[in-house]
A and B are shown apart, each in its own frame.
Chain A
Amino acid sequence: MARLERVLEFISRRSIRKGWLALVILFFLSFVIIPTIFVLTYAFTNWDAINSVVLSDPVKMTMITNAIINSFEIAGLVTLIDFMAGLPMAWIMVRKKFRGKALVDTLIDMPLVVPTAALGFSAALFWGIAPGDIVNPLGLGVVSSPLLLLILLHIVFSYPYMVRSLSAILEQIDQNYETAGRTLGASPLTAARTITLPLFRAGLVTGIILCLARSLSETGGTVIALATLSGSKGFNTGPTLIDGWKAIAQTTDPNYNAALAFVSILLIIIALVLMVLIRVVVKRVHLPMGKVWPRPEKLLSRGFFPKLKDSSTMVFLAVMVLLPSFFIFTCVFVFNPTSSGNWGGFGSSIIYSFTVAGVVTLVDLALGVPLALYIARGRSKRLPEVIDTMVNIPLIVPTAALGYSLSLFWVGGNAVNSDVGMLLVILAHIAFTYPLVVRNVTGAVEEVDPAFEETARTLGAKPIQAFRRVLLPMIKSSILAGAIMAFTRSLGETGATRAVVSNANTAPNFIVTLITKAPKDFYSAALACIILIAISYVLMLGLRYFTRRGKGAN
């Protein structure tokens, strides 16, 4: 007891607290931020290599230009569609009550946690015209353009982000404004459009940035979808280009490192600039929303039209999001079972993935919660504000570029043995999951009145005791939610993993290999996807359980 007392006394010293905080910030900078953007320095140190390998090679240049144009075209269109279909859905989820709402709510979240590799396979089989050996007769088989297929795929996993961001804001908007508008004679549509919609800006920024970032980042599902579509050879997005070249650089031609660095730099810079622009544009530019067309809007508010809007929203969810996600289950009945299935390999890849995700989550929690406290409780100071902004960077940077940058930082982009490889994969996953924990916990801590901890201090509690006994119970559910998000993201990540170690033995990578490398084994791939989806589903139920409980306690 006395020893515990002494330990408490020791860690409560001001110098120790300051030291620990400095350590956390140092970790954040040197393990998260700097590795994420380290590749930018390559432009200064190795310009000659870039010049000779990339800029003077018109074939590579064309490939890079096309890939990047594809990436941003897909991301832009996907975000636009997400917004148009997501807005009425957010409205339904927040303002309407109907039977089965909880189920719809769960289904919308589903694609958030399922590894995109599994989604990519499922959606490609559903929409695409597959090469002869993997035709699933139940699939629609209507899409032959890789661009269109990727748009359809990216909608599946980015749509939930848009709906979540918009409904989070809508929940906070006082409905009384709209009611007041209605009592002053506005039709429901006019009131919603002129009063509530302009209040959406903050949610819109979050939603747009999340969708863009997710689409720009996505690698695993995209690689698989392209491999599952006949005639898509030579079509690339930024991340798939990195993915393909990384394998070449690691095995045959180290010269490709310069090309990799160049693509990564382009992706990072364009993504960051774009995000800043969006923030400015959405916040500053005011659309002339004040104009009112009473008669047509009144007409559109009545009878048939709202029903049409709601039902088409639901149909969109079912056809564009849910069916493509779950289509994979039909493959079990359609594909021929292969006897050569490498289930031992899949088992060990799942263990590998879980080990990585577990370690990553623990590190995120241990070093992310203190940083979140620092940000949330230091709002008025300069440094916490700066760190708060920096936390977003790894969320925005495409993970394939992040992964390449990180491997360049730690091992100079060279191939490594499998032990070091695992360590690198862990570091890469920490870099893009750490912000998720920090964001979640920061939000929760900001909701808690600092008076609670302060009162505890004046009642005799040391800072660590005030945290453990007072604050921690209040933010527990958000910490858990952040942890589960980090865990599922790590479990489902493909792009960063392959950019660090192109043959890392993670579960998503195992599936990618099954589909893209001979001998191809689609039956095993489909089963592996189903197993991954099942595991993710269980994790998501856990997530919902904890977040729900958090809400109930307030």
Chain B
Amino acid sequence: MPSVRLEGVQKRYGDIHAADDLNLEVRDGEYLCLLGPTGAGKTTALRVVCGLTSLDSGKVFIDDKDVTDLEPERRGTALLSQTYSLFPQLTVAENILFGPDIHDLPEEERRRTLADMLDLVRLTKRPDAFPRELSGGMMQRTALARALASGAEVLLFDEPLRALDARLRISLRHELRSLAKSLKITVIHVTHDQDEALVMADRIGLIRNGHILQVGEPAQVYDNPISPFVANFVGQSNFVTGEIIDKGVKTTVKTESGMTVFARPCAMEVGEQVVVGVKIGNTEIAREGDSFFEGIVERVLFEGRNLHIDLLVEGTVHFSAKIPSWRLGKLASGDKVMIKWSPESASVFKMPEKGLREELRVE
């Protein structure tokens, strides 16, 4: 089971940096989700691994062997594109046997592979169907079987669940992951859906502008984001900016509008300009009681289990909270509410060089 490593990969298209000093290590048998907004260079990273995109500079290693100049067909890295790319003129069985046919395996072995694969992806009843006759889920399973049958030990999923409807998407998350795990293959899964990444990944790699920002286990990325961008992209966050006025067991920050808020301890010094970020789910609002500052309810959105509350808070652009929906009816737009959070749920970041707004921009 091979590992995959990208070292200092550079790829430019005109002025766009599709990969900018991209470094990534995927361990043996790991399920790694590459998460980032549209245009972040996720797909480029995948194409670099399987050899479909040539590099300007940098190196690609598979199983610690330098494969930078190896043709795609020699790498054993099968790509599953967004639309699955099942060959329309071939049946399910012929699609699955594409790899074995190319490698000219003996008839006996081919038959066994086909039977195994059909069984594995629960398509034993449809080997003679054409791709256009299949449902989205079946197409996806066929594409998976085809990739596995080719002998690939690294699978590259490019938004594999995107074309499916919402319900199926959620049920397939588990299925895809457990299949990969039981076969002990290495997977790089590209997605822009943070929920998907959090549920499926062993580790998540956050990517933006062709550069990896942070790699870590889902809980780590969620709770200990490395920058305001990561904090906001993996689970929405609220931000306030200000200056550190005291540090110790908790950090005290005074905002420009004169409010005082608390956050977890940090390495920055008193007097530094910082951004305090807190997940909207950890933002508490109440009609009365002690608080950091006040806000006015702008909008209440019913989301089923939760209520999403948009707030007007002086000195911030967006401010939201998520509260259980049994509180529906107890808050209405125009109400004044008290806002606070527990200090250990808030992270402190250095003030980004280009300002907070630019940092949070998702292009």
Contacts and interface: CB of A to CB of B under 8 A. Distances in A.
Interface of A: 1, 5, 12, 14, 380, 449, 451-452, 454-462, 465, 469-470, 473-474, 553
Contacts of A5: 104
B216 to A, nearest CB: 28
B73 interface: yes
Contact of A454 (B79, B103, B151, B152): B79
A281 to B, nearest CB: 31
Contact of A451 (B77, B85, B147, B152): B85
A380 B76 CA distance: 28
Nearest to B146: A459
9 contacts: A451-B81, A455-B80, A456-B98, A457-B51, A458-B152, A459-B78, A459-B152, A460-B151, A469-B87
Contacts of B88: 474, 553
B147 A454 contact: no
A469 B151 CA distance: 19
A473 B87 CA distance: 10
B85 A465 contact: no
A473 B99 contact: no
B134 interface: no
Nearest to B74: A460
B89 A458 contact: no
Contact of A459 (B71, B89, B102): B102
Given A452-B87, A474-B88, A459 B81 contact: no
B286 interface: no
A458 B50 contact: yes
B98 A459 contact: yes
Given A451-B83, A473-B89, A553-B89, 13 more contacts: A1-B104, A451-B82, A454-B79, A455-B81, A457-B73, A458-B78, A459-B78, A459-B147, A461-B98, A465-B102, A469-B98, A469-B102, A474-B89
Contact of B85 (A380, A452, A461, A553): A452
Given A451-B81, A459-B146, A459-B152, A470 B102 contact: no
B150 interface: yes
Residue among A457, A465, A553 with the most chain B CB within 10 A? A457
A473 to B, nearest CB: 4
A458 B98 CA distance: 11
Contacts of B99: 459-460
Contacts of A553: 88-89
CB-based closest 10 A-B pairs: A457-B72, A455-B85, A459-B150, A458-B79, A451-B81, A473-B89, A451-B85, A458-B50, A459-B99, A460-B73
Contacts of B50: 458
B156 interface: yes
B102 A460 contact: yes
Interface string B181-210: 000000000000000000000000000000
A470 B87 contact: yes
B150 A460 contact: yes
Contacts of A470: 87
B179 interface: no
A460 to B, nearest CB: 5
B230 to A, nearest CB: 30
Interface of B: 13, 50-52, 71-73, 75-83, 85, 87-89, 98-99, 101-104, 146-147, 150-152, 156
A5 B147 CA distance: 22
A449 B72 contact: no
B79 A455 contact: yes
Contacts of A14: 71
A449 B89 contact: no
Residue among A1, A452, A460 with the most chain B CB within 10 A? A460
B102 A458 contact: no
A392 B303 CA distance: 58
Contacts of B89: 473-474, 553
A460 B105 CA distance: 13
B73 A462 contact: yes
A473 B80 CA distance: 21
A12 B89 CA distance: 24
Given A452-B87, A474-B89, A458 B52 contact: yes
Contacts of A12: 71
Given A460-B150, A460-B151, A454 B102 contact: no
A48 B104 CA distance: 67
A321 B87 CA distance: 43
A459 B79 CA distance: 8
A458 B71 CA distance: 9
A553 B87 CA distance: 13
Contacts of B73: 457-462
B281 to A, nearest CB: 38
A383 to B, nearest CB: 17
A458 B83 contact: no
B156 to A, nearest CB: 7
Nearest to A472: B89
A454 B81 contact: yes
B252 to A, nearest CB: 53
Contacts of B87: 452, 456, 469-470, 473
A77 B82 CA distance: 51
Contacts of A1: 104
A451 B143 CA distance: 13
Nearest to B150: A459
Contacts of B101: 469
Residue among A12, A454, A553 with the most chain B CB within 10 A? A454
Contacts of A449: 83, 85
Residue among A459, A460, A462 with the most chain B CB within 10 A? A459
Contacts of B98: 456, 459, 461, 469
A465 B72 CA distance: 13
Nearest to A454: B52
A462 B75 CA distance: 12
A452 B146 CA distance: 13
Contacts of A454: 52, 72, 79, 81, 85
A461 B151 CA distance: 12
A474 B77 CA distance: 25
A452 B104 CA distance: 20
A459 B89 CA distance: 17
A458 B76 CA distance: 7
A458 B77 contact: yes
